[in-house]
Structure 1
Amino acid sequence: MNQPLAGIKILDLSRVLAGPLGSMQLADLGAEVIRIEAPEGKDDIRHWWPFVNEESTYYLCANRNKKSVTINLKKEEGKALFKKMAAEADVIIENFKTGTLERLGLDYNTLKSLKEDIILCSVTGYGQTGPYKDLPGYDPVIQAVGGLMDITGHPDSEETRVGTPVVDIMTSHYVAISILAALRKRDVSGEGERIDLSLLDIQVASLGNIASSYLLTGHISKRMGNAHGNITPYETFQCADKPIMVAAGNDRMFYKLAEIMERGEWKEDARFKTNADRIKNREQLRNLLEAEFLKKDADQWEELLSSAMIPCGPVNNVEQVFNHPQIKAREMVQKRRHPTLGEIKTVRNPIKFTNTKVEEKSHPPILGEHTVDILMDYGLSENEIKELKENGVI
């Protein structure tokens, strides 16, 4: 069976992470994604440590199933070449600073004149409008401005960014979702779309219950470490060997936890009888629980609590994650041949269909790897391509 997005052509002008991760999701689903890069390779992500034989592992995580064509968009011949490709594209993704496409003469109206139903997805730090629209926005800055850092970390420590570039990752999902919605709209109405995605907007939209608590009650949430502001016990506890995360999300689970720990009296204790009671007496309960968890190893507690269907799990490092039996059973690591690196391992796309296999079809492309082949597909001769290369256009 064909992939869901087979026949969709995407020109990806985006760099670093949010845009490329989004286009990779679409490529995984069968879209033809062509990365348009500067001949000198200006995408920062290609130059970020650590490296494997001069290939950035950061770049490798976000660019499988794509092709790479180098075009200098600052040259008129390069713009003409891009317009030729845009006239046959379904989607264009870009994350230049606000106004860059206009300065290049490749704004939405120009692109629309080339193909009436074109979809342009623009990703910026602060969006196309507003007083901050011209400022650069990187993931950790957006985590700070958007309130995420202020609620991350322990109460007595400094504000902390999330360990992964979570704003970029969340934005990549919106890239894919918005483009899929625009494609659906186009198929029904014949109309294209201009999509304006802001990292800051997405960060704020992702505050979830934190935002709702403030907007509806005025409550300003603060850092609570690994604890939850509205539920307890819902945090990490140190066991005899290492910590474990326990999420007893309701009274029934707490009562089961008490029974497993042979502390049945907690179920009738007025301090702990309901979640509201436990929130009021959080520190007293935590002290009692800490003493119990120290009596056994994390794996022992995991087995006991899991048998009672209480959500829990040890705090694993990355090596332990990829050795986890569930990760292995779900085949979340896949292998692929790379032209210069040999066999490489990557994380598999987590989407699992019943009737369609989502898989890695091609390696993350080397800079300009497909330039000649693709330009020939657009009707350029070998001599024309040679001349463009000599003139620094490709």
Structure 2
Amino acid sequence: MLDPDAQPPLAGITVLEVGAFMAAPFATMQLADLGATVLKIEAPGAGDPVRATGPFVEGHSSPFARLNRNKRSVVLDLKSDAGREALLRLAASADVLVENLRPGAMRKLGLDHESVRSAAPHLVYASASGWGQDGPLAPLPGLDIMAQARGGLMSITGTPDGEPTKVGVPICDLVCALYVALAVTAALRERDRTGLGQYIDVSLLEAGVSFAVWEAGRYFATGEVGRPLGSAHQSSAPYQAVRTADGHVTLGAVTPKTWAGLCGVLGLTSLQDDPRYADAFTRHAHREALVAEIEDVTRGWTSAELVRALDGAGVPCAPIADYADVFTDEHLNRRGYFWDAEHPVLGPVRQLGSPMRFSRTPAVQGAAGPLLGEGTADALRAVGYSENEITELTARGSVAPPDARDREDPA
């Protein structure tokens, strides 16, 4: 039962984000959703490059307003001595710093873990990068598609003999971010025992390789290398999309009960006595012949008819939804997954909900992505800067207040 007086799980934790695009911002969004105060450190002028990524509404980036919800924007020029000093003072009173600059960039600024640790030995410092902080690839730029390529994901995605295909979302960026958030929460728990922070190194490459559970099981056992299988499972069948009269339906009948249910629905009970289809692994070895027999029947059904019949028989299945279907889905709406975050210019901004549901302390539903620099003065005041010092730093360009353009009435 939700407790209206309970604080979010990470209430009282302050996180500094020195990030851009995806990995660090998505990681800190998770922490902000859990109640951490996230100060998003941005460069003067343009800020996070995602602010310049469309589509735009009233001149504001729609992706930015979602990816950076529940955060405060603090504009510091980290190339200036005063800007670096401000970050060190913020770090001394913060709990976590998350960055995803190229390895070596924070060291050049004098803001790497070793430099910051002397001012903040309690700080949990996490770096997300393409290839990790050491090793021969470390100096190279690494984007999500490169991590999917080097990490093997593109070798098993798509259809046999098809063009190289990446996963449809930036999966290495996103899972790297989730590992960062998990590692940060674990390091905070360890700090409760020791009082000490530590350094966390998470790469897109290793995050992507960590998905290869089935592929590793096969390769290290038999030496067999995984290949693209379209929508099919790596070792069990039937577990894939099958054709219908008006599209496709995904189904998974890999247990004895669901296999019998599928055969019953489709009128293919004779398949249960076929030794080629004795179990899910054997069926996979004869998958092409099996799926051809299944599709001879399912091509005569509409997707809706097939889903209805399989649901009735307890066979796992689902239609293939596009995102117009997903973003208006009755089940998700009934569960209150989508919610609206307020933005000072755009008004309500529809958000993707947090998948983490807590019985007492729900995820935070606060504001949409912040205006550039809107939290700068408050953050500096909180670590002891006077009004005169803030004014002087602003005049020198070391920090920046909110961009006046962000506050203009769009009307």
Q: TM-score, normalised by structure 2?
A: 0.93
Count of residues paired in the alignment: 394
Distance 1:377 1:7 in 2: 14
Aligned residue among 243, 252, 269 for 1:247 = 252
Aligned residue among 73, 79, 84 for 2:84 = 79
Superposed displacement of residue 42, structure 1: 4.2
Superposed displacement of residue 346, structure 1: 0.7
Aligned residue among 365, 370, 395 for 1:365 = 370
CA contact (8 A) 1:251 1:273 kept: no
2:396 is the counterpart of 1:387: no
SS of the counterpart of 2:275? Answer: coil
CA contact (8 A) 1:348 1:359 kept: no
Distance 1:65 1:93 in 2: 16
2:238 is the counterpart of 1:233: yes
Distance 2:33 2:103 in 1: 28
Partner of 2:193: 188
Partner of 1:129: 134
Distance 2:245 2:297 in 1: 10
Superposed displacement of residue 322, structure 1: 2.0
Distance 1:137 1:339 in 2: 35
Render the CA deviation track for 1:202-256: whole Å, top value 9, x for unaligned.
1111211112221232110100111123111111112122211011122331121
Distance 1:2 1:229 in 2: 43
Cα 1:389–1:255 shift into 2, 3 Å: same
Render the CA deviation track for 1:142-184: whole Å, top value 9, x for unaligned.
1011100010000021120011011111111101110011001
Superposed displacement of residue 276, structure 1: 3.7
Distance 2:218 2:281 in 1: 16
Quote the RMSD (CA, aligned, Å).
1.3
Distance 1:274 1:147 in 2: 28
Instruction: List aligned pairs for 1:137-216, cutoff 5 A.
Output: 137-216=142-221
Partner of 1:11: 16
Partner of 1:329: 334
Distance 1:291 1:235 in 2: 15
2:118 is the counterpart of 1:113: yes
Q: Which shows bigger deviation, 256-265 or 378-387?
A: 378-387
Superposed displacement of residue 328, structure 1: 1.2
Distance 2:372 2:362 in 1: 28
Structure 1 unaligned spans of 5+ = none
2:259 is the counterpart of 1:257: no
CA contact (8 A) 2:8 2:364 kept: no
Distance 1:277 1:212 in 2: 17
Distance 2:285 2:341 in 1: 53
Partner of 1:52: 57
Give the aligned residue type for 2:295: E
Q: Which shows bigger deviation, 135-144 or 254-263?
A: 254-263
CA contact (8 A) 2:128 2:177 kept: no
CA contact (8 A) 2:65 2:349 kept: no
Render the CA deviation track for 1:103-161: whole Å, top value 9, x for unaligned.
11112222111122111101111111101111111001110111000100000211200
CA contact (8 A) 1:12 1:94 kept: yes
Give the aligned residue type for 2:320: V
CA contact (8 A) 2:55 2:61 kept: yes
SS of the counterpart of 1:87? Answer: helix
Aligned residue among 320, 325, 340 for 1:320 = 325
Render the CA deviation track for 1:65-103: whole Å, top value 9, x for unaligned.
110000001001111111111110111111111111211
SS of the counterpart of 1:68? Answer: strand
Partner of 2:404: none
Q: Which shows bigger deviation, 52-61 or 258-267?
A: 52-61
SS of the counterpart of 2:315? Answer: coil
Cα 1:155–1:336 shift into 2, 3 Å: same
Partner of 2:104: 99
Distance 1:274 1:181 in 2: 41
SS of the counterpart of 2:257? Answer: helix
Instruction: List aligned pairs for 1:217-232, cutoff 5 A.
Output: 217-232=222-237
Give the aligned residue type for 2:113: Y
Give identity over the alignment, percent.
37
Aligned residue among 22, 27, 30 for 1:22 = 27
Give the aligned residue type for 1:302: V
Q: Which shows bigger deviation, 369-378 or 335-344?
A: 369-378
Give the aligned residue type for 1:252: K
Q: Which shows bigger deviation, 82-91 or 273-282?
A: 273-282
